[in-house]
Amino acid sequence: MLFNRIFREDRAQLSLEYILIAMMSILLITLVSIPILGLSIDYSFDVVDSLNAKTELSKITEGIDFCYNSGKGSKKIVFIDLNNDLEINLLNNNSKGMAVADLDLSNNDSKSIYQSFDCPLLNENIVLSKGFNKVLIEWSDESGLIEVSKIN
């Protein structure tokens, strides 16, 4: 008797229409959510890349400040790990310096990242490649200027 109540055909049957409606709903939700998810992932990578570039640019400016505050003859090697190729412009306005890096974003836009430093004696460009880079920051006795260069 209990067995007959559980397996009655008139109560436990799913119709084909309900299954098709459920499949179409899932398909529509998937078609709408995948492009939105792709955009959010691209923007997340842009945020990670810009934070990484700012952190690594900060390491370089801290090294420049170290050499400037230590005086002539000082030298520092900084290890940089970048997610993208980066060109850094080191500029000055005769009182402070500014490091500027332009980062290419996923939507073909560009974002400039700025970091200041104390040394007014610096006006150079340095190109760093994706991955690990060694950067030499040196204030030599002969030239009287701080030099920033990539070591291979």
pLDDT per residue as tens digits for the range 5-53? 555 554 445 677 788 888 999 999 998 888 888 888 888 888 899 999 9
The pLDDT value given to residue 119: 85
The pLDDT value given to residue 105: 85
pLDDT band at 152 (very low <50, low <70, confident <90, very high): confident
Please state, in angstroms and rounded to a whole number, the distance separating the CA atoms of residues 129 and 97: 23
CA terminus-to-terminus distance, the chain: 85
- Give me 83's structure tokens: 């997610």
Single-letter code of the amino acid located at 98:
M
Backbone angles phi, psi at 83, to 5 degrees: -85, -20
The pLDDT value given to residue 14: 62
